Amino acid sequence: MDKSNINQLVQELKRYGQEHILQFFDQLDEQQQQVLLHQVNEIDFKLLEYCRSLLQNKQQTGQYVPGTLQPLQVIELPKTPEEIAGVDRARACGEQTIAQGKVAVMLVAGGQGTRLGYDGPKGTFPVGPVTGRTLFQYHTEKILALERRLQTVIPFYIMTSELNYSQTTEFFAQKQFFGKDRETILFFRQGMLPALSDGGKMFLEEKGKLSVAPDGHGGLLRAMFKNQILEDMEKRGIEYIFYFQVDSPLTRVCDPVFIGNHVLKGAEMSAKTVYKSDPYEKLGNIGQVNGKNVVIEYTELSEQEMEARNADGRLVFGQGSIAIHVFNVSFLRRLKDENISLPYHLAHKKIPWIDAFGNQEKPEKPNGYKFEQFIFDALPFAETIMVQETDRKQDFSPIKNKEGQDSPEQARQDLENLFGSWLEKAGIPVKRDKAGNVLDVIEISPLVAMNEKEFLERHPEPQTITGGYLYDKVG
């Protein structure tokens, strides 16, 4: 870029009061200059101005008014013969829909393993109790197993962040895409938004680098539209999208029962829930506000709402959202065609920055804002929705923390507990502690069995290991 173009860019930045981000430009080498210019050229200034307007009011769009949430009807875990029959009908419908090639899988995998003390994309984190299978391998093999069983093709779309795109694509290539057809796995990048100071100014993280952050899992829609993902799906004949996030190895990827209930209900968007372990569990709450379907963050509910119970003793707002959805492609097409944007949420953060003298500043308290969209905010725009409760022991064990609850150790234990229950049904004794946790080290590949029924049908031969079993091949 020549000097005249730089001057033109400076004038453009002045229009928005952001010319300070080029104050050290002449001190940068050519490569650093190109990095900064690329970042600047990626900025959507209309969106930036919108975020600044939110910041001026210190108010996020779609703010919840306590006391207005009403519970929704939920398909709860089956108890009666009629409900069990309903599960069978949904499974048959879901399997038929998948077999017809109408379903794609969408994985949100923009996170890093930083909070786990791990250097790399979270999807590359090893969690298999015996083999160290990564999260990416678990998810991909579940899709591959379903493809083989139903003799179909399930396109797999993976949204990374700008930070981990290269690492993620290189990892899949090194692992030969875990046996799945390369042409059916598509990667694309999540959008990034600049962080803003209290006064609406962008930060420099370094002299030649803006401070930017991913725009939240709701940024999926903006990224899909920008990268023509909808058009790709429509060419492939996809009608439904199974959406989930990378951090739970238990997730029933492309769950036929969930997809079947979605189709039978005629829903445009569906959500999975688990019944909360306690009133204060950090899960979003699905319900209705003023007749609109919504997910309200746990931080926004009052203590009275969180603790409220029905006559049967169950929590009124006991169904927690676990970020697993099904979308109709036609629903997302409507959002795009009608130019509908999800609301932005403000997050007050401590943001390191370069001051006017070029010094690195590390604030001790929040000094700026990041802006995020949440995918569940699409719910109010759906004409019909379906909410289905799932068993967390079989479907939900997120890895978020290095230790304790929602940790890798907990996820491995949950995997072993699930696999151990399958072995016991097959007549294989399993050691458990007083709390009921499996003590043996057990791992069952998704390619061997995706559920208890498949495991019992196949009767695979295990590889005996010290203190446990590994089922990695079909016997």
pLDDT attached to residue 419 = 97
Structure tokens at 185: 């796995």
Task: Provide the CATH topology of domain 69-404.
Answer: Spore Coat Polysaccharide Biosynthesis Protein SpsA; Chain A (3.90.550)
Rounded percentage of the chain residues whose pLDDT exceeds 90: 90
- Statement: residue 397 has pLDDT above 60: yes
Please work out, in degrees rounded to the nearest 5, the angle formed at the alpha carbon of residue 154 by the alpha carbons of 181 and 164: 65
pLDDT 10s digits, 9-30: 888 899 999 999 999 999 999 9
What is the pairing mode between strands 240-245 and 269-275?
unpaired
| CB distance 448 to 456 below 8 Å | no
Tell me how crowded residue 403 is: count the other CB atoms within 10 A of its CB: 11
Which residues, at least 6 apart from 315, have a Cβ–Cβ distance to it below 8 Å?
Answer: 275, 276, 279, 306, 307, 308, 309
Structure tokens at 446: 């998704």
pLDDT 10s digits, 50-85: 999 998 876 555 568 888 999 999 999 999 999 999
Which residues, at least 6 apart from 88, have a Cβ–Cβ distance to it below 8 Å?
Answer: none
- Statement: residue 87 has pLDDT above 90: yes
The band of 466, judged by pLDDT with boundaries at 50, 70 and 90, is: confident
- Statement: residue 475 has pLDDT above 60: no
Radius of gyration in angstroms for the set of CA atoms belonging to the chain, rounded to a whole number = 24
Q: How far is CA 174 from CA 137, 168, 323, 341, in A?
A: 12, 10, 29, 37
The band of 413, judged by pLDDT with boundaries at 50, 70 and 90, is: very high
pLDDT attached to residue 302 = 92
Packed helices 135-150 and 165-174: angle between N→C axes, nearest 10 degrees = 60
Please work out, in degrees rounded to the nearest 5, the angle formed at the alpha carbon of residue 451 by the alpha carbons of 393 and 392: 15
pLDDT higher for 462 or 314? 314
Closest listed residue to residue 351, CA positions, set 164, 161, 210, 160: 210
Global confidence as pTM: 0.94
- Statement: residue 181 has pLDDT above 90: yes
| CB distance 48 to 61 below 8 Å | no
3-state secondary structure of 324: strand
| CB distance 275 to 285 below 8 Å | no
Structure tokens at 230: 């909808």
pLDDT attached to residue 4 = 56
Mean pLDDT of 289-306: 92
pLDDT attached to residue 338 = 97
- Statement: residue 465 has pLDDT above 90: no
How many contiguous H segments (helices) and E segments (strands) does the chain have? 14, 22
Mean pLDDT of 163-189: 97
**Residue type for 209, please?**
K
pLDDT attached to residue 18 = 96
Instruction: Enumerate the CATH 3.90.550.10 domain ranges in the chain, comma separated.
Output: 69-404
Instruction: Tell me the backbone φ, ψ of residue 424, rounded to 5 degrees.
Output: -60, -40
Structure tokens at 223: 């990224």
The secondary element (H helix, E strand) that includes residue 273 is strand 269-275
Cα(419)–Cα(413) distance, integer angstroms: 10
Lowest mean pLDDT across 175-179, 228-232, 285-289: 285-289
Mean pLDDT of the chain: 94
Mean pLDDT of 172-182: 98
